[in-house]
Amino acid sequence: MHSTTSDLVGADRLAPPSAVDALKIVIVGGFGVGKTTMVGAVSEIRPLSTEEIMTEASVGVDDIGRVREKATTTVAFDFGRITLNAGTMLYLFGAPGQQRFWFIWDQLFAGSLGAVVLVDTRRLADCFYSIDRLEHHRMPFVVAVNRFAEGPGLPAVREALDLAPEVPLIDCDARRRESCKQVLITLVEHLAHLNTFAREDIA
Amino acid sequence: MIRRSVDREDPDRLYTVTGGRTRADDAAFDSVSLIVGECEPTPGMQSEHARILLLARRPIAVVELSAKLRLPVSVVKILLRDLLDTGRITVRHPSSMTRPGKIDPGTLKQVLVALHNL
Which is nearest to B19 in space by CA: B82, B110, B86, B96? B82
Q: Do B110 and A85 touch (CB under 8 A)?
A: yes
Q: Do A111 and B5 touch (CB under 8 A)?
A: no
Residue B2: pLDDT band (50, 70, 90) is very low
Residue B28: pLDDT band (50, 70, 90) is confident
Please state which CATH number belongs to domain B23-117: 1.10.10
Q: Do B96 and A8 touch (CB under 8 A)?
A: no
| List of residues 6+ apart from B2 with CB closer than 8 A | none
Residue B10: pLDDT band (50, 70, 90) is low
Q: Which residues pair with A169 in a beta bridge?
A: A143
Exposed, middle or buried: residue A33 (CB in 10 Å: 0-12, 13-18, 19+)? buried
Which is nearest to A3 in space by CA: B58, B40, B103, B54? B54
CB A22 within 8 A of CB A89: yes
Count of beta carbons in the 10 Å neighbourhood of residue A47: 21
Q: What ipTM goes with this model?
A: 0.85
Give the residue from chain B lying closest to A5, CA to CA. B54
Question: How do residues A44-69 score in pLDDT, each as one tens digit?
Answer: 999 999 999 886 555 544 444 444 44
| Across B80-91, average pLDDT | 96
3-state secondary structure of B110: helix
Count of beta carbons in the 10 Å neighbourhood of residue B109: 12
Answer yes or no: is pLDDT of A149 > 60.
yes
Q: Do B111 and A50 touch (CB under 8 A)?
A: no
> Which region, left, alpha or beta, applies to residue A10 given φ > 0 means left and ψ of -120 to 50 means alpha?
left
Answer yes or no: is pLDDT of B66 > 80.
yes
If you count residue pairs, one on A and one on B, with CB atoms under 8 Å apart, how many are there? 156
pLDDT confidence of residue B29 = 95
pLDDT confidence of residue A64 = 45
**Extents of the domains making up chain B:** 23-117
Helices B47-55 and B73-85: crossing angle, nearest 10°? Answer: 90
| List of residues 6+ apart from A38 with CB closer than 8 A | A27, A92, A94, A116, A118, A146, A172, A174, A180, A183
